[in-house]
Amino acid sequence: MNPSPRPYESYVYAYPHKTAYRPLPDPAPSLAALWRDEPKDALSLYAHIPFCEVRCGFCNLFTRIGAPDELTTRYLDALDRQASAVREALGDRGPVHFATAAFGGGTPTFLTAGELERLCDIAEKRTGVDLRAVPLSVETSPSTATADRLAVLAERGATRLSIGVQSFVEAEARAAVRPQRRADVEGALGRIRETGVPVLNIDLIYGIDGQTDRSWTRSLDAALAWRPEELYLYPLYVRPLTGLGRLAATADREWDEQRLRLYRHGRDHLLARGYEQVSMRMFRRTDAPPQGADDYACQTDGMIGLGCGARSYTSSLHYSFDYAVEMREIRAIIDDYTTTEDFTRARVGRPVDADEARRRHLLQSLLQVRGMETDTYEERFGASPFADFPAELGRFEALGWLDATAPDGLLRLSPEGLAHSDALGPALFSPAVRAAMAAYDPR
């Protein structure tokens, strides 16, 4: 890590990143063998719907615009086949229980109301998850949050609806290649509130060209008018092969300072208005209903991913399908997925050895405001995190990123450490993962 690290190196939402995944050697491992000895009593289910009505300028997610020729039907057919194969692979040697569920994308509400019904049926009838008994989060967008779609999700057990607004200022939305009318955004928010789903999350972005402290405050206050239970504040990134990536030059220090300033302003604005900080990005209203299962821990429990953009996690292997950002490549991967008949093997992924498991546990714990209890780490890995990562944690401490006031036995970030989460996270990547990511050919 450089003496003066840039604050926005990479958003670490999963480790290892999919650009470190590679085709697995033949014979490809069977899902039944991968899951045979895994604990399956607190799984997370994620269904990925890779369709959007528009491609935002900042987006590098695995998604395509539109779905011609009954593509959504063929995609759900494949999702049905995959879900059946996965459930068979999980077996019946022990209890199979899902603690959480989520539909993401893309935009799940790109599907029609009838298709959303089918998606819920696939999740319940094929995998066995009870969507009304676990927290169910679903992503939506202003143009697809229609009353009929939202009614299906509410009736089928959705407990959280997350809408990507990005900015309530129309000029800023256009600058981010996310053209939308403020009236349409407000209409969608009204329909979401009418469903009675207990948690509304609103995503906002800072660092947009032309954005000022004043316009950022306007967006924050427009979101706060809906009293959302959660707010996510994302720094804008310009990534290769995205709409903005084709137009913009390399990020500079001036932009770093703008984003840091807007982050701190947004953080303080929300903290002063009844919100608590959960991570660098996530803020929750202090009186909001609890979300998530108390017995589910992303650091240790398995993930079942359905769809060609979803990841699955076992203790020894993370696996998915091929990954791309460029639209032509994404379309080819989706087409290949819809014609796949055999979903019994993992084809693309990355093994997770003991060192990577340590890094992942530390990453996913430390990037949360609550931090990590060192006893829990030591019980799992047999050593102190300070013994396993002396250089990294020593560097974080020297930079003032660790909270010196944390109680004994708790490793926690300082406010400055949280502000630099997107530099701290990548600093914990292993050399092997860094090399694999650097060798990835963006396409």
**Mean pLDDT on 274-284:** 97
Residue 25 DSSP code: P
Per-residue pLDDT at 244 exceeds 50: no
Strand-pair category, 160-166 with 199-206? parallel
The pair of structure tokens assigned to 225 is 């008018």
Q: Which residue has the tokens 């303080």?
A: 268
Per-residue pLDDT at 389 exceeds 60: yes
Strand-pair category, 317-320 with 64-65? unpaired
The pair of structure tokens assigned to 92 is 């019946």
Crossing angle of helices 253-271 and 213-224, rounded to 10°: 40
Give the pTM.
0.93
Specify the pLDDT at position 59. Answer: 54
Q: What is the mean pLDDT of the chain?
A: 91
Nearest to 411 by CA among 426, 430, 391, 393: 393
Strand-pair category, 136-140 with 410-411? unpaired
Instruction: Identify whether the C-beta of residue 169 lies closer than 8 Å to the C-beta of residue 146.
Output: no
- pLDDT tens string 288-331: 987 654 444 565 679 999 999 999 999 999 999 998 877 888 88
Q: Higher pLDDT residue, 240 or 63? A: 63
Decide: residue 193, CB within 10 A, 0-12 exposed, 13-18 middle, 19+ buried.
Answer: middle
**Mean pLDDT on 368-378:** 97
Task: Provide the β-strand partners of residue 203.
Answer: 164, 232
